[in-house]
């Protein structure tokens, strides 16, 4: 099978971690007889430096025309003072909107080898951590109007949060369908005691529930959900929520699994052309020092194979190679513990490669 993958190496540690994921994809291609063509795309701070734009139109076109997109990370302190519309993160928002990827799926699953790395008590971790946060990705306050103006002589900032019934329904269906493939439990998270957008969210979710009688739907306020994730994460199977709430909760969920560097994510819309990226940032403080953990990016590549290319066995092979790497006691600095062997970013990729076998 031949696939064209748009590759955004990005900023900070992005190029280092993407390189390891590409090595793994190349080995998969050899083992299974596939052909992956990589198209380099500039986005983020590097695109600002090169083109004066965080996502030039021709770069977005390359992404939209690809079979899927692999992204490292964008942003950094270097670009903190550029005008708001030109910040690196604006390129990412425009990429999501341009690709129409409205559903971001972030798993929060603890690897048994890393149970001790979780900041939660052993008694909580032993109950299990294995859930997915389905986050609406191209609506809400991040895509509403943003402005700062002077009102009565004082600077006043305004950010508009808007959701339509259609936007809620399409992400709600993703939540229900995902729950149907797992343990058939869906928790809808909102702030309906305060926000009109959340009241509409809750109404639409309950209307949809009639179409999914096999899925148990529950409602939870976002502040309570934030508490419950650290108190009793085992209660969750699939969580569906709006853009900003999902951004915050998914980062919290990643940390209870031991390391943000281990978590992949997928973003999909109406087609199989998806955006795949680790959920961590560009970490400019360790960029170029061979310290980054590339596993989140490698597992994102595995998600691409599974969800966009229908290559389940190939994805299993990558995940099994990561598990074997952890079993052997190798760790990057972010997940290092006593008795383990500390390795750098490149060595991590090479060791996973050694464990990669055809399933």
**Active centre residues (catalytic):** 142, 191, 223, 247, 251
DSSP 160: -
Give whole-number Cα distances, 203 to 176, 184, 188, in Å.
15, 20, 11
Which residues sit opposite 131 in a β-bridge?
Answer: 108
DSSP 76-117: -GGGTTS-GGGSHHHHHHHHHHHHT--EEEEEEE--GGGGGG
Q: How far apart are CA 254 and CA 262, in angstroms?
A: 8
Rounded to a whole number, what is the largest CA-CA distance in the chain? Answer: 68
Q: 258 Cβ partners below 8 Å, 6+ apart?
A: 110, 111, 114, 115, 117, 118, 335
Pick from 85, 79, 92: which is nearest to 43 by CA? 92
Which residues sit opposite 136 in a β-bridge?
Answer: 103
DSSP element (H, E) containing 122: helix 122-125
Q: Find out whether 317 and 358 touch, Cβ atoms under 8 Å.
A: yes
CB-neighbour burial class of residue 338 (10 A; exposed 0-12, middle 13-18, buried 19+): exposed
Length of the chain equals 359
Pick from 4, 15, 12: which is nearest to 68 by CA? 4
Q: How far apart are CA 318 and CA 321, in angstroms?
A: 5
**What are the residue ranges of helices labelled H in 131-195?**
165-180
Distance from the Cα of residue 253 to its chain's centroid = 12
């Amino acid at each position: 099978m031949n696939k064209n993958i748009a590759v955004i190496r990005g900023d900070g540690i992005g190029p280092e971690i993407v390189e390891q994921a590409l090595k793994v994809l190349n080995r998969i291609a050899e083992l299974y007889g596939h052909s992956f063509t990589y198209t380099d795309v500039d986005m983020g701070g590097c695109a600002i430096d090169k083109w004066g734009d965080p996502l030039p139109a021709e770069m977005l076109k390359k992404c939209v025309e690809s079979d899927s997109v692999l992204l490292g990370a964008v942003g950094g302190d270097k670009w903190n003072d550029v005008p708001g519309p030109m910040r690196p993160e604006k390129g990412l928002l425009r990429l999501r909107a341009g690709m129409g990827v409205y559903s971001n799926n972030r798993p929060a699953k603890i690897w048994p080898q890393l149970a001790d790395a979780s900041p939660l008590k052993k008694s909580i971790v032993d109950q299990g951590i294995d859930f997915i946060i389905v986050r609406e990705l191209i609506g809400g306050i991040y895509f509403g109007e943003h402005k700062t103006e002077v009102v009565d002589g004082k600077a006043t900032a305004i950010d508009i949060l808007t959701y339509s019934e259609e936007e809620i329904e399409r992400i709600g269906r993703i939540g229900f369908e995902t729950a149907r493939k797992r343990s058939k439990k869906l928790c809808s998270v909102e702030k309906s005691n305060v926000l009109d957008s959340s009241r509409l969210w809750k109404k639409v979710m309950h209307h949809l529930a009639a179409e999914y009688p096999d899925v148990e739907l529950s409602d939870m306020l976002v502040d309570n959900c934030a508490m419950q994730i650290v108190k009793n994460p085992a209660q969750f199977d699939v969580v569906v929520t709006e853009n900003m709430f999902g951004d915050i909760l998914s980062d919290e969920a990643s940390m209870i699994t031991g390391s943000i560097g281990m978590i992949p994510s997928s973003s999909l819309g109406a087609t199989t052309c998806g955006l795949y990226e680790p959920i961590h940032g560009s970490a400019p403080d360790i960029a170029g020092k061979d310290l980054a953990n590339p596993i989140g990016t490698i597992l994102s590549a595995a998600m691409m194979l599974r969800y966009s290319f229908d290559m389940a066995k190939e994805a299993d092979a990558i995940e099994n190679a990561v598990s074997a790497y952890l079993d052997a006691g190798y760790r990057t600095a972010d997940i290092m513990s006593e008795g383990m062997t500390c390795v750098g970013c490149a060595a991590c990729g090479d060791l996973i490669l050694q464990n990669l076998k055809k399933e």
